[in-house]
Structure 1
Amino acid sequence: MKPNEKLIDATADVLTRLLRFEYPADSVLSACFREQRALQSRDRAFMAEHAYLVLRRLRWLRAVAGEHAGARKLLIVALARIEGLGVKQLAPLISRKEAEWLETLPPGKADELSLGERTDLPDWVVERLSAQMDEESLLSLARALNQQAPLDLRINPMKTDRESVMATLANNGIAAEAGRWSPWALRLSERPSLAKNPLYEKGIVEVQDEGSQLLALLLAPKRGEMVVDFCAGAGGKTLAIGAMMRSTGRLYAFDVSEKRLLKMRPRVARSGLSNVHPVLIDSETDIKVKRLAGKIDRVLVDAPCSGLGTLRRNPDLKWRQTPQTVEELVAKQGAILAGASRLVKPGGRLVYATCSLLDAENRGVVDDFLACHADFERVPANAVLASAHVGLDTGIDLELRPDKHGTDGFYAAVLERRNTGNREKDIGQ
């Protein structure tokens, strides 16, 4: 879409608000669009796409435009240097002074930039990731994180199969392909609005990253079991777990946010599941949690985290997180995992997961937990996935990256409580 002068102004205005990093970018954009209801859908799409482009490439743009360049100048540089609009194309949309300034800017060559500027990551994130991988791997990861995420769907196996949904989408002019890993995943080549699509309205599909779908397969719930989704949020993974249980047994969806649980209710209704029980808790030590101690077959802990694995969707997170917030999150993650573990019965399964890329939030939390809980042991995630006929092997724990696996960045460890009896360890279903 070719921008006009008013659209440049509107995008620069919302960018100014976003660059304060006071609130999540999606909520700032939503508020902006509510204030400007006259905006056409294509105008909203341009504003969102280009605001997110600046957030993704902020360090590189500032290296070119100047550390103190404002939102409008950053947008102009993004249009010129990343989108490829020439000065002649931009001239009618910007002032003469801005056009002259644009022509004086340095090229921003890689050999003139720091690693943080080349990866568009804060230095503290670069330092931590550099301890986990070599520079080539880090640059590959950063390139993927700075791309827009695809739109993934999860089909509801209670209502349909993947081939039927692909055929229906094709009849509606929407191209989709089967996911690489999840048996329920579809990836769309474009990003159509699905809110009024009958497939969505009838609970036949849900929007969910393919990597996130694999967590239900690692949990591997069975019919009739007692299961807890400990940090359920708005219920994306809850729905996948409930479908695997074929709407039998009892599935508790715990969360500390009433707002998130309320968002779950219409999704559960559309899905057709009758075994989901949303429960508001105040913390991992809530009496509602304690009452279930030692009674649950399987517990999923998708812990609150830095979200650095989701930068394709939430590029503002890399600028809003700090080493201090990560340190606080690690303490919270350890407390939640320990609290959730008390629910697991002997022989039961506990899956710890985050959408972070940092070892401190992932393997570090699990290693610390196991060091203090001798009654739990690690189960190889690759073996669990193989038993579910998923040909993905990232080692003993699941570690997903957008550049290698085409998903958001995810981590998951499968743990089981030792059974003092003779029950054979359950790897799969």
Structure 2
Amino acid sequence: MKQIKHNLNQWLSRCSFVGIMLVSGAGYAAPGLLDVYQMAVVHDATLAQARSDLEADQQQLVQARALLLPKVNATAGLSYPDIERNQNRQSLGLRLDQPLYNREAFSLFDEATIRINLAQLRYDNVAQNLMTRVSQAYFDLLLAQQTLSFAQAREAAEKIQWERAQAAFEVGLASRTDVLQTRSAYDLAMADRIEAENNVDISQEALRRLTGQPVLQVQTLPLEHNIAPDAALMRMAEQAGLANEFSQNLAVQIATEQQRLAEQGITTRQADRWFDVNLTLSHSRTECGGSDRDPLLCRSGNNTELAINATLPLYQGGLTSSRIDEARLRNQTAMTAVREAREQASLDARVSLRNLERGQARVNALREAVKSNEAFLEAAEEGYRVGLRNLIDVVTARSNVFNAQNNLAQAMQALVLEQLRLKQVLGQLQPDDLAQVDQLLIAP
């Protein structure tokens, strides 16, 4: 897992540079999935917030360390012990306080260390979520583009069919019903094309929100590509499910780290009952002034003092006991959250496995459905030409072909996205996986 985090951090640094180049104008006409992710790394507000939170949380360790380091204060004063005689005392001092034993400060330092680990995990989780969000938005646009392409092809075919029926009607070779049927199919195809164009615009806007710049077109996933789920990944998911072991899942790691923080909170609150030992070293210089100085009221000179003090709290009105009880209850809540995170990870893994298994079978079935519907359309058109089929059979067959093609494209894309989601559940998702997806895509 450390290697995965290291690779992820390296990728984020490289993405920032490449994303800046893309923003400056060196972009692609049809960028791949990894290209779009690089744009999103630079622009995405959620990732930027997580990065700022991580940097802010890292300051907590500095603050906790400060409780263990010496504190040095300088003092200066002017007083008048006897105003009537105009006697005054001028003093300058330097004081150093060093905790020798402070159980609460030590515990707070340990808390800060855990908080930094927790902040890093949250940042890694946001970075992984950005990969899945970008992938989903990218394939939403891809599906919208393919649906539009199918709709445009169908509209063109229905228009030709309508024009032929109208021409045949004018010479008495077709009925008025044929003309109405073909015009109805053409109108419906036109309506589907308009809806598809609107879906493309919406998907472009969703991707623009992630990247901060327009992505008008993305690369396409050919229907003839054979997409097979990663067998090694599926075996890993099955083994993790059987052992109920999802230690690399970031949500589980976050919940576990929060539970560690809650346990440390109990130690911190219990430290309120312990004694503190502090060392104090001070040096002061006093100068007396006035017209009639009284040595009993003011005496000039230097004073150096070294002291070690121990403080033991005896009774705080029940505050300490209440804080300890609160910390224990919050620890119980955190333990329940760990169990819930593991159960959710197990459920997500099982769902992804089922989706991959049945998704592959569905893709194969839809690919055969496309072939059979194309063959039926060809037969229906031939049958209509020789008078064995009516025009409604041709219209229905053509609609079924485009529906089967659209369903196949959607199923193939869902298979790719499901594999990315399974990698995220297992804590294995990296930018390299997006590069592997790009190998399935081709420029339009």
- Higher-Rg structure is 2
Task: Work out which structure has the larger RCO, using CA pairs closer than 8 Å and 6 or more positions apart in sequence.
Answer: 2
TM range (shorter): under 0.3
TM-score, scaled relative to structure 1: 0.23
Q: Which has the higher helix share?
A: 2
TM-score, scaled relative to structure 2: 0.22
